[in-house]
Structure 1
Amino acid sequence: MITRFTDIINGLKGFDRNFTIGELVSKILMSLFKDWNSLRMSIENTKDVNTYLLEELYRTLMTYELNNTETKEKTRKNKQEINESPKRQIALKSTNDKGSSNMNMSDEELDDLVLLIKK
């Protein structure tokens, strides 16, 4: 965006159209997408647009873009993790021995078995 903007401004300078720094900063801020409204509003409210340097604006825009990209990437990964199917769980196999029955277990062993199953 910065390169295209510079090319356009340099082309207009060829036609003897000069812009003030305030006009250039305002034009860049007006051209930002709606996703950037929070940054645009904070710059307009905290900085004097007429004295705000283009290089400083470029740095601010690049920093915001990097931070915003990282945040969007983390959000996208979190959504993917939530939407993933639950992982398979391993179930215990039951065996049926003819010689053993629950009646031969003591109450303490049955309590331990119940606790194990609840976990």
Structure 2
Amino acid sequence: MKQDEPIVDMITRFTDIINGLKGFDRKFTNGELVSKVIRSLSEDWNSLRMLIENKKDVNTYPLEELYGTLMTYELNNTDTKEKTRRSKEEMKEPPKKQIALKSTNDEGSSNTNMSDEELYDLVLLVKKWRDF
């Protein structure tokens, strides 16, 4: 199995190789096929490999059931890795800047005489409010 290769791709490659060998009249028992799949798993799969080898009889463990177990493990493991990655990214994310406007107490002034800085602050406030 290649590093970071999806299990479905590995199973497809394995099946193609086995079917090619069967074309040369090479016969495999179910136990041989299960053993070959388990041996070909990368180091990321060590925990599942040990569990299967210790809890299941490799000679009677159906190949299709092994495929299902591998796909389920990959799906669960991918979800866990993604959640961990997202939480790490959130921790690295700098705090968001707070926007504050200056208040003035001129009752006679009109809103059309805003400085560029005040107008920029107002635009940021409106954008922030819209995203809120």
TM-score range, shorter chain: 0.7 to 0.9
What amino acid is the match of 1:3?
Answer: T
- List alignment gaps of at least 5 residues for structure 2: 1-9, 103-132
Answer yes or no: is 1:77 the counterpart of 2:86. yes
Equivalences, count: 95
Q: Does structure 1 residue 56 correspond to structure 2 residue 65?
A: yes
The CA deviation string for residues 11-53 of structure 1, in whole angstroms up to 9 with x for no partner, is: 1011111111111001101111101000000000000000000
Matched, 1:25 2:25: no
Name the counterpart of 2:77. Answer: 68
Output the TM-score relative to the length of structure 1.
Answer: 0.73
Quote how far apart the aligned CAs of 1:92 are. Answer: 9.6
Name which of 7, 12, 33 aligns with 1:3: 12
Structure 1: distance between partners of 2:85 and 2:67: 27
Q: Which residue of 2 aligns with 1:104?
A: none
Counterpart of 2:84 in 1: which secondary structure? Answer: helix
Letter in 2 for 1:70: D
SS at match of 1:67: helix
What is the match of residue 23 of structure 2?
Answer: 14
Max Rg structure: 1
Percent of pairs with identical residues: 80
CA distance in 2, matches of 1:71, 1:40: 18
Bigger drift between 69-78 and 1-10 goes to 1-10
Aligned-partner residue type, residue 36 of structure 1:
W
Counterparts of 2:38 and 2:97, CA distance in 1: 50
Structure 1: give runs of 5+ residues left out of the alignment.
94-119
Matches within 5 A, 1:72-111: 72-89=81-98
